[in-house]
Chains A and B, each alone.
Chain A
């Protein structure tokens, strides 16, 4: 807790209805965020039980500097992933970090399963488990609106409360169901939505008005101003505000690294039509920021939706980002911004991870093309470039309309193991691929990363920056970045600001709020957190040496040419050796 020497943890058992708090000095070596969330998961999980067993925990944790410094906005959620069956970690901001801080909780641990649908109402004064029978089954937006109306603290909460919720996909156990955070942000990856749904937990509202003690105000304002200046005026950050992450579309297309048509290609002939520039010109209506962020990278696009025949239209606003544009655009051959926004709208309302669903639909399209599955199973035409078919399929998948869609809702690895087509089911470690087919570092990085995300170790960034290829150096760099990011996400930093928070900046910031740490401490904390994640992964049976990479990763050229299979697996083996060595280290 800011200004204290303990981490305040709120425990909620939904089976028994028990609510208690504890103040944990022993969690301080994990700092906050990813560190505390991983440690609390480790203390509470049950390796022998399914990820959706009532006993499995869901943990939310803010960081050591959340909301106190610019762009330290995120909350880390940990859980057992219903998609991969192993370690689940997802990050989101919106207002949730600020709200947890103001409510006085560094971490929330939720266990058990409510007998009836419920949502949590958490404030600095009390914690309530409220009935949610009437909102179970509703789409994400309407759910948010109803909880907002109910939990308004007599009007005081407006603009300061955070509301997270799942859509029907989470209720129905789609393994990559997401959680919507304050309408425009998400815990997207690895199926936190299904984990919440399995607890009959529809959502959570958090609000507080606690004062925040700052240990050293003079130093605090000095450090704050420096960081703020870098956030607002550096070119590296400005691009996030200008075009936002969709600025990547043109660059990745030029590089031949934008996954296209189920990664049959790395260039999309209609890339210019779905670029950041095209969205800005045709659809952009608003930019927003998470609470505590001066960058404001959230881009909202508007499109005209015909909701009934006879010139019946409505204007729909949805947020768009690079990841969504790749997964629901180039990957599926969709060539207009309006069609992408229309698909995103359903992804939002049903509550699924955009990347996983796009990649699963890419596999299904190719499997249908090749005759592995039939039109009777897909119930609609799945064809690259055909948005209407994908929109229908999203509904079938969310509702689990038939056996095929229930299988597809378990992810591309599962469905390919059952029906075939494993060579082009584009997942790594069970998590669907991300939008960067840049080279060895991206592929190896996602395969071995703690949460099988491009953000674990930023391999795509290494691929672009290296001057020549040296596999040992790439493995070393990936491993170091994985540890460093464990430290950064214990603050919890939005990773867009990774380069702003160098070690000295982190030390200055932490120093201003009462932490007396050295550069060596930062390294040790990062390693300690990564070691904890590795221990969890090992207890769940994950062995990086067993990862099998679909053949297509070795067929479609990257910016480093076509990847060699032997080199890739050798690099995974070397990374695994380093992980084994870290597991032996004494970091207590």
Chain B
């Protein structure tokens, strides 16, 4: 993930009303390949203030000003 963001581990995003819009913002900032990477269903997980979007409506989960979003690798085992 950090390869896409040129090693930036965090940033501020303004005006994103949902996780999907946030991904759009990140795509503008770090490139379309990063947005595509984030949109892949089983590559990344998003937490909104520590809660998984799995319980909040997925990518359409609403965001409010001040929310903190974690982007984590999807957890897999084999």
- By a beta-carbon cutoff of 8 Å, the part of chain A in contact with chain B is 235-236, 239-240, 245, 247-248, 250-252, 254-257, 297, 322-323, 434-436, 438-439, 454-455, 460-461, 463-469, 494-499, 559-561
Contacts and interface: CB of A to CB of B under 8 A. Distances in A.
A560 B54 contact: yes
A559 B50 contact: no
Contacts of B73: 239, 247-248, 251
A463 B47 CA distance: 14
Contacts, number: 93
Interface in B23-47: 37, 40-43, 45, 47
A311 B72 CA distance: 42
Interface residues of B, number: 25
17 contacts: A235-B40, A240-B78, A247-B73, A248-B77, A251-B45, A251-B73, A251-B74, A251-B75, A252-B75, A254-B50, A254-B72, A454-B77, A455-B77, A461-B76, A464-B42, A467-B59, A499-B42
Query: Which 10 A-B residue pairs are closest in the complex by CB-CB distance?
Result: A467-B58, A496-B78, A251-B72, A495-B78, A559-B52, A248-B75, A251-B75, A466-B54, A494-B78, A560-B55
B70 A254 contact: yes
Contact of A467 (B51, B54, B74, B75): B54
Contacts of B76: 236, 245, 248, 461, 496
A86 B34 CA distance: 46
A436 B77 contact: yes
A560 B54 CA distance: 8
Contacts of A240: 78
A552 B52 CA distance: 21
B17 interface: no
A502 B41 CA distance: 15
A245 B78 contact: yes
Contacts of B43: 235-236
Contacts of B58: 466-468
Given A251-B73, A460-B77, A465-B54, 19 more contacts: A235-B40, A236-B40, A236-B74, A236-B76, A240-B78, A248-B76, A255-B72, A256-B50, A322-B77, A323-B77, A436-B77, A460-B75, A464-B52, A466-B58, A468-B57, A468-B58, A496-B76, A498-B78, A560-B52
A236 B76 CA distance: 9
B54 to A, nearest CB: 5
A240 B74 CA distance: 12
B42 A236 contact: yes
Contacts of B55: 468-469, 559-561
B9 to A, nearest CB: 12
A239 B53 CA distance: 22
A124 to B, nearest CB: 30
Contacts of B50: 254, 256
A560 B59 CA distance: 16
Contacts of B54: 439, 463-467, 559-560
A221 B70 CA distance: 41
Give the one of B37, B70, B78 with max A CB within 10 A.
B78
Contacts of A495: 77-78
A439 B54 CA distance: 10
A560 B74 CA distance: 16
B61 to A, nearest CB: 9
Nearest to B61: A467
B35 to A, nearest CB: 13
Contacts of A559: 51-52, 54-55
Contacts of A434: 77
Contacts of A438: 75
A247 B43 CA distance: 13
Contacts of B77: 245, 248, 322-323, 434-436, 454-455, 460, 495
A234 B35 CA distance: 15
Nearest to A256: B50
B42 to A, nearest CB: 6
A484 B20 CA distance: 30
A342 to B, nearest CB: 24
Contact of A464 (B40, B51, B74, B78): B74
A468 B53 CA distance: 9
B75 A465 contact: no
Nearest to A323: B77
B74 A235 contact: no
A560 B52 CA distance: 8
A435 B77 CA distance: 10
B52 A255 contact: yes
Contacts of B45: 251, 255, 464
A239 B74 CA distance: 10
Contacts of A256: 50
Contacts of A250: 72
